[in-house]
């Protein structure tokens, strides 16, 4: 039986209404809101024949287990690709994957999904253990990207990286001690970009499975970037190189 969950926040709920309204059973909206975003939810829900129940703000927050922005939707999970094999079979261009090693903050996971969606990554891969799950907080932070980018938890990340290499996908690890800069690496072919948690970086075994370690040049005083920012920079560079090849 499919397990229904609450998604919350206006970006997440509006995205679900636009793209997968059939998955929503009911929307609970803060009865005191009269602003544009509340009106957008009411209008789109009406067009999609989704029921909206005016609800006390505190109860909506309870559904979201925290701050909800005043809107929560009870919905079925979206049926995106569930395995790397499904992802790779469906794409018609060189694979572009984002691999997260040890990212435990759901806000960072959501932001990484948002970057993955923005720059056309085909999936986000992460270990099942010692990593953030795709919970309501991550879905809200993703601002709708959780409905468009497959998130694939794997049992053994090192084995998954080995399997990607066997399929001629270049495994590129982001590390400030990397031997080449991100811009000097060739990301135009099938690529898996591997990023570690802020501070901890890539685990030793993960580093060993990377074909190349690259660094993002830093010109200011800070020594590192948040993992979601690094993801956005790395994915943008991959897309920039690919557009140059096409041109």
Q: Domain map of the chain by residue range?
A: 5-75, 84-246
User: Domain 84-246: which topology?
Assistant: Alpha/beta knot (3.40.1280)
- Which pLDDT belongs to residue 246? 52
- Judge contact between 180 and 214, C-beta under 8 A: yes
> What is the average per-residue pLDDT within 4-18?
88
- Which pLDDT belongs to residue 70? 93
Tally of CB atoms within 10 A around 89: 9
- Judge contact between 176 and 230, C-beta under 8 A: no
For residues 10 and 69, give the distance between their C-alpha atoms in angstroms, rounded to a whole number: 7
Indicate if the pLDDT at residue 1 is higher than 80: no
CATH assignment, 5-75: 3.30.1330.30
- Which pLDDT belongs to residue 183? 95
Q: Could you tell me the two tokens for 21?
A: 């309204």
- Which pLDDT belongs to residue 57? 93
Indicate if the pLDDT at residue 11 is higher than 70: yes
* Between 51 and 244, residue with greater pLDDT: 51
Q: How far is CA 67 from the centre of its chain?
A: 21
The 3-state DSSP class for residue 192 equals strand
- The angle that helices 36-47 and 10-19 make with each other, rounded to 10 degrees, is 20
- Which pLDDT belongs to residue 81? 74
For residues 154 and 160, give the distance between their C-alpha atoms in angstroms, rounded to a whole number: 7
- Which pLDDT belongs to residue 31? 94
Range among 37-51, 71-85, 196-210 with highest mean pLDDT value: 37-51
Q: pLDDT tens for residues 142-195?
A: 988 888 899 999 999 999 999 999 999 999 999 988 889 999 999 999 999 999
Indicate if the pLDDT at residue 247 is higher than 60: no
Indicate if the pLDDT at residue 208 is higher than 60: yes
pTM of the predicted protein model: 0.78
Nearest to 50 by CA among 85, 22, 15, 86: 22
């Amino acid at each position: 039986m499919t397990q229904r969950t609450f998604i919350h926040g206006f970006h997440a709920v509006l995205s679900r209404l636009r793209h997968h309204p059939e998955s929503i059973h009911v929307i609970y909206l803060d009865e005191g809101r009269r602003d544009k975003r509340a009106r957008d939810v009411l209008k789109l829900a009406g067009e999609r024949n989704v029921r909206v129940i005016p609800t006390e703000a505190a109860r909506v927050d309870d559904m979201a287990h925290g701050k909800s922005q005043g809107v929560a939707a009870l919905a079925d999970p979206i049926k995106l690709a569930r395995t790397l094999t499904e992802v790779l079979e469906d794409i018609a261009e060189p694979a572009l994957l984002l691999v997260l090693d040890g990212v435990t903050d759901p806000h960072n996971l959501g932001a990484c999904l948002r970057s993955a969606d923005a720059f056309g990554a085909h999936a986000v891969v992460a270990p099942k253990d010692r990593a953030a799950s795709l919970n309501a907080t991550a879905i809200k932070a993703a601002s709708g990207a959780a409905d468009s980018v497959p998130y694939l938890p794997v049992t053994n990340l090192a084995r998954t990286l080995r399997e990607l290499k066997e399929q001629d996908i270049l495994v590129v690890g982001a590390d400030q001690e990397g031997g080449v800069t991100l811009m000097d690496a060739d990301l135009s072919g099938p690529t898996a970009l591997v990023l570690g948690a802020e501070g901890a970086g890539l685990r030793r075994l993960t580093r060993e499975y990377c074909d190349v370690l690259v660094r993002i040049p830093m010109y200011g005083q800070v020594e590192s970037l948040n993992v979601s920012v690094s993801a956005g920079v790395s994915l943008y560079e991959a897309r920039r190189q690919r557009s140059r090849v096409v041109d």
